[in-house]
Chain A
């Protein structure tokens, strides 16, 4: 459970977050949506502790980030997994090296235990024949999957994904979505996902937070997003004709 209370973040004069409060529950896939440049990545980086908000507090299962000591902060971070928007794989290491890195860094497992774990997570993300390739030798979608594997290899309590399925084909995108959802439910992880992808919103949006102009414009579930009459949300989510029709049909069906 992550509770976010009135956080503000600006870069110089440029105010990005102007007071956002919400909460993300355990075992659920929480989605953050919003236009490009609306501050989704900044918000996520605040959750990760990479940016310190000027105001407000973030609380992880009762631990308020700003009141933790340096060591406690590092320990908390070891409970987090992050999939960056650009994957952020270490390009001096192979796929296997990347996924094994957190294990090597923070566990006392033997080589074969680590190898087993790496094989399991790489198989989970459907990568079986890329172990010894370097990030520059695999496609963008494969890089995303390696990044997910690396984020989940330590069994994190909190998982953050910045557009995990952008740049993937629809089938792989759904696979990744389902994968994240399964892992979230299986290990009771608090998962927060930034996305542009309306498919994800409909499929796995157990909770959706819509950011606009630095404020939380709307929040609700994927069921509620069909019914809402918040103009900003419908305008953003149903910007394509197809989705407009789908919504129409859904609403008619219900009446």
Chain B
């Protein structure tokens, strides 16, 4: 009986909790405020260029090159799946077969390459950033930097922001590999001929769609660099909290990416 009550009341509690959180978003507002204060701090009192340069190179290696493998893997198969799904949904013989290539190109360039990849990156790169900065906080390494007179936010976050400026290159790779994956799946799965697919890829191509996609990915890159840094930098507690902070950071990074994606699409294409 007791457990029954708890079980029936659990969703109710969650609803109440969510509603109160939405009605009283004071702590969110405070967090958003301190996020922007952090961003301002990041660009103050720059670290010596000689040191910063090597930090940036290290982060490019870690964040961009270290992620190419997974980006290529995911894009290839997502492109393939989009191609197959489109093919399977064309039952009407009047619809031209080049639609498969066209649909693959559009979905990959507009959404799958920039947005889907960024959500994956929010998990991979984001949790790395939160846990590495969080560990430095917990073990007082950030205090050690501050005591020396180093602007720790600039030292830790700035190189990540700069490294992720190269993120659109990764997205460009994702686009190409995605479309290639679609072509492979379409042609070798017997859904389309190579000629049809290629014709579809070239059909009604609007270069601005690629620009739009790159604008999105630059913004996503900034989000992926800064929100996880924020959660790592201002965390309190010990090793357990580092794990929790990584999870929270991932949730918030994804949520913000999705919202920014919506707003940008409305602004740029709507």
Contacts and interface: CB of A to CB of B under 8 A. Distances in A.
Interface of A: 45, 48, 50, 74-75, 77-78, 80, 82, 84-86, 88-91, 101-102, 104-106
A50 B148 CA distance: 11
Contacts of B143: 45, 50, 84, 88
A189 B148 CA distance: 16
Contacts of A78: 148-149
A106 B51 contact: no
Contact of B141 (A45, A75, A88, A105): A88
A75 B148 CA distance: 9
Interface of B: 45, 47-48, 50-51, 135-136, 139-141, 143-144, 146-150
B92 to A, nearest CB: 59
A82 B48 CA distance: 22
A45 B144 CA distance: 11
A77 B144 contact: no
B51 A80 contact: no
Given A50-B146, A77-B149, A88 B139 contact: yes
Nearest to B143: A50
24 contacts: A48-B147, A74-B45, A77-B147, A77-B148, A78-B148, A78-B149, A82-B147, A84-B140, A84-B144, A86-B139, A86-B140, A88-B140, A88-B141, A88-B144, A89-B144, A90-B136, A90-B144, A91-B135, A91-B139, A101-B148, A102-B148, A105-B48, A105-B148, A106-B148
Contact of B51 (A45, A77, A89, A105): A105
Max chain A Cβ within 10 angstroms of own Cβ: one of B48, B148, B150: B148
Nearest to B151: A74
B141 A104 contact: no
Nearest to A50: B143
Nearest to A71: B45
A50 B149 contact: no
Contacts of A86: 139-140
Given A82-B144, A85-B140, A88-B139, 8 more contacts: A78-B149, A88-B140, A88-B144, A90-B141, A91-B135, A91-B139, A105-B47, A105-B48
A101 to B, nearest CB: 8
7 A-B pairs with the lowest CB-CB distances in the bound complex, closest first: A88-B140, A77-B149, A88-B144, A78-B149, A74-B149, A82-B147, A84-B140
B47 A91 contact: no
A105 B150 contact: yes
Given A74-B45, A84-B140, A86-B140, A106 B147 contact: no
Contact of A91 (B50, B141, B146): B141
A173 to B, nearest CB: 21
Contacts of A75: 149
Nearest to A108: B48
Contacts of A106: 148-149
A195 to B, nearest CB: 18
Contacts of A101: 148
A80 B147 contact: yes
